[in-house]
Amino acid sequence: MKKYDTLVKNAAGRTVPEEINGRKHVPFQGVGKHRPQGRKHAPLIPTSLDYPADGNKTVASLREALEKAGLQDGMTISTHHHLRNGDLVSNEIFKHASEMGVKNLVWFPSAAFPCNAPVIDYLEDGTLNRIEGSMNGPLGKYCSEGRMTGTAVLRSHGGRYQAIQDGEIKVDIAVIATPTADPFGNGNAVDGPSACGVLGYSLADYQYADKVIVVTDNLVDFPCIPMQIEGNFVDYVVVVDKIGIPEKIVSGTTRITNSPDRLLIAQLTSQFCLETGILKDRGCFQFGAGGTSLAIGHDFHQILKEKNWKARFAFGGSTQYMVDMIRDDVMDYILDAQAFDLEAVRSVRENPNHYPVSIFHAYDFHSKGNYTTMMDIVILGATEVDINFNGNVVTHSDGYLLHGIGGWQNCLHAKCTILPIPLFRDRIPVIKDEVTTLCGPGELIDVIVTERGIAVNPRRQDLLDRLKHTGLPIKTIEELKNEAEKICGKPEKPVLDDEIVAAIKWVDGTVIDAVRKVNP
Amino acid sequence: MKKYDTLVKNAAGRTVPEEINGRKHVPFQGVGKHRPQGRKHAPLIPTSLDYPADGNKTVASLREALEKAGLQDGMTISTHHHLRNGDLVSNEIFKHASEMGVKNLVWFPSAAFPCNAPVIDYLEDGTLNRIEGSMNGPLGKYCSEGRMTGTAVLRSHGGRYQAIQDGEIKVDIAVIATPTADPFGNGNAVDGPSACGVLGYSLADYQYADKVIVVTDNLVDFPCIPMQIEGNFVDYVVVVDKIGIPEKIVSGTTRITNSPDRLLIAQLTSQFCLETGILKDRGCFQFGAGGTSLAIGHDFHQILKEKNWKARFAFGGSTQYMVDMIRDDVMDYILDAQAFDLEAVRSVRENPNHYPVSIFHAYDFHSKGNYTTMMDIVILGATEVDINFNGNVVTHSDGYLLHGIGGWQNCLHAKCTILPIPLFRDRIPVIKDEVTTLCGPGELIDVIVTERGIAVNPRRQDLLDRLKHTGLPIKTIEELKNEAEKICGKPEKPVLDDEIVAAIKWVDGTVIDAVRKVNP
């Protein structure tokens, strides 16, 4: 059903299609090699004549808004994932589309969650042709087994902005779940029963889409302040009972790991950062919301406090641990495109030093610079790495596509990229001869920290030099791999079908790898 | 020197050129009649590869930045006017350009002030071909006397955004004087020795220009928070000793008029608003920073307080009088694109309910709606009005072009537009048979308030009905005109040359009138 006549070997040695879903794409040219051509996507010029003079853009229902927006076959519909696993809006869109008999839509979410599993019904009935976005859990399994009509395209968060900005993806209708909004379409995520803090993944959607629908469960009088969504870009406002399930939108608390192995990995990572001097006064870093990352953040906090240092900023996803760093005066600012817990939501609402920014600002590679290259340290995960330091974050070693790229590829551009990962998971080694799917080239991955030792990319002789007189357990990546294989045995490579079910984009819009169908 | 072979009569009956400075323009079609075609201007796609990885975009001097930005003959250079009569940056640009031998530039400021008079030297030596922007004071005189090589084009603030957005003006280099900035180019106007509060006139410039230069006298470490200017759009950052003369940027205090006539006009205006019910609980309004306007704002404040009403918002330019309304809890929000005094600057820095917005949000007619049509009341000035309620804000009755349009045309779209004006100035009546220059069609001007009576546009029978049992001195506009002429005599119309020195745009980009050369 999906034929790719012209496959080419890209600069990373991966065989990828040149045409995906009927459109040409450039194969990966190497890190920093591809230069964009042309101009940004130009939306149609609107006129105020077409919008109500009283500023009231509310319509009775999402169905009516979709109809007025001209929903029709083949359109691309975008959504954000700020409501995470509590999202009550995205599935509704395709339920209405299915009822309207619309076919062959493309869903372009900034991420999908297990709560989006019902979308499979609309892939099955032909309402949806494909999803271009992260494929988490059930959707990933569905895609991996070759059941989706079109080919999935996975992009990093920054790459998603880039694709919209550059006109690679034309969004016909953006549907923006907005925790608080006014009738003009201004909105924010700091107030309302479904408050999720920030809406930093929505900027490209509402700036570039032909039609923009704001869906809220908390309508306030104009002006809704702050305006994280700008009503001047909005066509319709829909008020519904509930846009999200609060306890699934934000976790009440995000927690540090209590696994001894993970805590050891965290401690080695923090020590590494301190001993190499990359953790320092006035520095900046990014760590995620996973249990190990939070433990590292907690360590950083203690180190800064002890040294009487003050970090300049951290880039979110934000958590209570980051908020505590501002409260304890060991950090000036949080720049934030996503809030993970209630404390972070409160902080972004109340503290002007917890500053909302968008993915454009932080991650867009086709921008006049972005924040990633300024970061001293970023802490990332991976499902696999290989002996050339290449990283995989989307597929498991059995070939199943179960995760999105998130901001992972974007963050690789930091001054020091560290992957604190266990040597094996469920007795499957994490370090391979070759990653199942290439998401990030090894030249951008600097350090692998495991519970049994730290491997530094040989390209980073500067870091190795600084480690000479430390007691840190520095090993080669091959040594780490061998250790794992001694314990778990060498895993067999999965036998995958030739059929391509998904393409993986690099931050510059080129195709870095393709994902093959799994034979279940 | 400026030939206009094809002059046409537009829908307002004004004779205007179809081609201006070698480019076709649409004549005014009537209020709400022109529909834009096509797509917004699309800037070139940049790549982070071309920007320093450490985020440091500083260069040694403005001259170097202009050279790196590729300044060359015929380019359009934009600036903002937030430093008002204390601007030390704009003139410098053209000094450097002149020294570099560059010719035929277009200066595209959001407004010009008397401090910009030195620019005349660069109009004289051929560095500049023309100015497209407000022509205040000496520049206006220069233009009026036909001494500028190209034809001036005057636009409203919203029309300026529209022109950039729609690609009618392509800005080659935007130079943004920024009171506080970081090396990446993020900037704001709330901090630094030249703080001017907000930078709401710069958005189109930095989003759409090919090259963007930030000039600051207060460099801070990344990230500069708040980011009123977003560094992701910025190419170069220049640090200079001084971007502005503080006492000329903001007035220490803005003052209510103490003229008895003006106070009477203000009192009549407030009473009119109250008696007609257009001043009300939860309402919104805009009044400027002139002495009469401030008196009206002060009256509104007292009325709201007495009635125990609370206004929802006022749109700035902001002053201490507006700030007092928030402090006294008679108003929820100030939406602000321009701060006029020190108290307003302090407020926008400290009070989250004093919210910076851009001209795009407030005024762009080619947007999905804007704020102007939502305003219950706007208070505006005029140099002349005529018996058909047409208004002029750019020329004096002697034909001299001495003022810019500002937000005046945009504000005319409010629910009730009120012009509180004296019946005569320097013994010259303000109400004419026909305005010298048409800036705003009479169908959008609702009320003229003078010290000798109030004229309501007959189109607003609804207002006239509500006034029936009030003691307000309601007169026809002809009665007011006759009263003035009885006192001052009927002024002679100026005899102007045929040569067109300036075109006046309407909010939708069409040409509403042309300004003729004065014979001095």
Cβ atoms of B358 and B337 within 8 Å: the answer is yes
Question: Domain A45-132+169-249: which topology?
Answer: Glutaconate Coenzyme A-transferase (3.40.1080)
Beta-bridged to residue A187, according to DSSP, are A181, A229
**A10 confidence band (pLDDT: 50, 70, 90):** very high
Cβ atoms of A133 and A108 within 8 Å: the answer is yes
Residue B1 scores a pLDDT above 50: no
Give percent above pLDDT 90 in chain B.
Answer: 93
Residues in B touching A170 (Cβ below 8 Å) = none
Q: What is the per-residue pLDDT across B373-425, written as a single tens digit (0 to 9) for each?
A: 999 999 999 999 999 999 999 999 999 999 999 999 999 999 999 999 999 99
Residues in B touching A235 (Cβ below 8 Å) = 368
In angstroms, how far is the first alpha carbon of chain A from the final one?
18
**Mean of pLDDT values over A453-462:** 98
Q: Say if the Cβ atoms of B45 and A226 lie within 8 Å.
A: no
Cβ atoms of B159 and B361 within 8 Å: the answer is no
**Mean of pLDDT values over A94-104:** 98
Chain B interface mutation, best of A34, A220, A232, A236, highest count of B Cβ atoms under 10 Å: A232
pLDDT value for A491: 86
**Mean of pLDDT values over B468-493:** 94
- DSSP-derived pairing of the beta strands A428-429 and A377-379: unpaired
Residue B250 distance to chain A (closest CA, Å): 25
- DSSP-derived pairing of the beta strands B15-17 and B7-9: antiparallel
pLDDT value for A254: 79
Nearest to B230 among A36, A234, A361 (CB): A361
- Residue indicated by tokens 């994490």: A430
Rg (CA), chain B: 23
Residues in B touching A52 (Cβ below 8 Å) = 369
Residues in B touching A53 (Cβ below 8 Å) = 373-374, 413
Answer whether B367 touches A (CB < 8 Å).
yes
**B160 confidence band (pLDDT: 50, 70, 90):** very high
Q: Say if the Cβ atoms of A225 and B364 lie within 8 Å.
A: no
pLDDT value for B131: 97
Q: Say if the Cβ atoms of B357 and A43 lie within 8 Å.
A: no
A310: phi then psi, degrees, rounded to nearest 5: -135, 120
Q: Say if the Cβ atoms of A367 and B165 lie within 8 Å.
A: no
Question: Domain B57-132+169-249: which topology?
Answer: Glutaconate Coenzyme A-transferase (3.40.1080)
Answer whether B30 touches A (CB < 8 Å).
no
- DSSP-derived pairing of the beta strands B496-505 and B511-518: antiparallel
pTM of the complete model:
0.97
Chain A interface mutation, best of B47, B368, B371, B378, highest count of A Cβ atoms under 10 Å: B368
Residue A2 scores a pLDDT above 60: no
pLDDT value for A1: 44
Q: What is the per-residue pLDDT across A116-155, written as a single tens digit (0 to 9) for each?
A: 999 999 999 999 999 999 888 899 999 999 999 999 999 9
Select from A77, A120, A82, A131 the least CA-distant residue to A102.
A77
In chain A, residues under CATH classification 3.40.1080.10 are 45-132+169-249, 260-496
Residue A343 distance to chain B (closest CA, Å): 20
**A4 confidence band (pLDDT: 50, 70, 90):** low
Which residue type sits at B246? P
Answer whether B309 touches A (CB < 8 Å).
no
pLDDT value for B476: 98
- How much is the mean pLDDT over chain B? 96
In chain B, residues under CATH classification 3.40.1080.10 are 57-132+169-249, 260-493
The Cα–Cα gap between B364 and B313 comes to 19
Question: Domain B260-493: which topology?
Answer: Glutaconate Coenzyme A-transferase (3.40.1080)
Answer whether B299 touches A (CB < 8 Å).
no
Class of domain A260-496: alpha beta
Taking CA–CA distances from A48, the nearest residue in chain B reads: B369
Please report the DSSP string for B173-222 in residue order.
EEEEE-SEE-TTS-EESSSSTT--S--TT-HHHHHH-SEEEEEES-B-PS
Residues in A touching B366 (Cβ below 8 Å) = 45-48
Residues in A touching B39 (Cβ below 8 Å) = 42-45
Nearest to A166 among B45, B335, B369 (CB): B45
Q: What is the per-residue pLDDT across B77-95, written as a single tens digit (0 to 9) for each?
A: 999 999 999 999 999 999 9
**Mean of pLDDT values over A227-253:** 93
pLDDT value for A124: 98
Q: What is the per-residue pLDDT across B233-280, written as a single tens digit (0 to 9) for each?
A: 999 999 999 999 999 998 777 789 999 999 999 999 999 999 999 999
| Among A227-236, B102-111, B484-493, the least confident range | B484-493
In angstroms, how far is the first alpha carbon of chain B from the final one?
18
Residue A374 distance to chain B (closest CA, Å): 5
Which residue type sits at B249? I
- How much is the mean pLDDT over chain A? 96
Q: Say if the Cβ atoms of A38 and B44 lie within 8 Å.
A: yes
3 state DSSP class of B498: strand
- DSSP-derived pairing of the beta strands B384-386 and B391-392: antiparallel
Residue B234 distance to chain A (closest CA, Å): 6
| Among A174-183, A249-258, B167-176, the least confident range | A249-258
- Alpha helix ranges (H) inside B276-352: 291-307, 320-327, 342-350
Cβ atoms of A285 and A378 within 8 Å: the answer is yes
**Mean of pLDDT values over A440-444:** 98
Answer whether B307 touches A (CB < 8 Å).
no
Q: Buried b / exposed e across B198-207, counting CB within 10 Å, b at 16+?
A: bbbbbbbbbb
What value of ipTM does the predicted structure carry? 0.96
The Cα–Cα gap between A402 and B493 comes to 79
Q: Say if the Cβ atoms of A47 and B366 lie within 8 Å.
A: yes
pLDDT value for B136: 83
Answer whether A236 touches B (CB < 8 Å).
no
Cβ atoms of A448 and A421 within 8 Å: the answer is yes
Under 8 Å CB-to-CB from A46, ≥6 apart: which residues? B36, B366, B367, B368
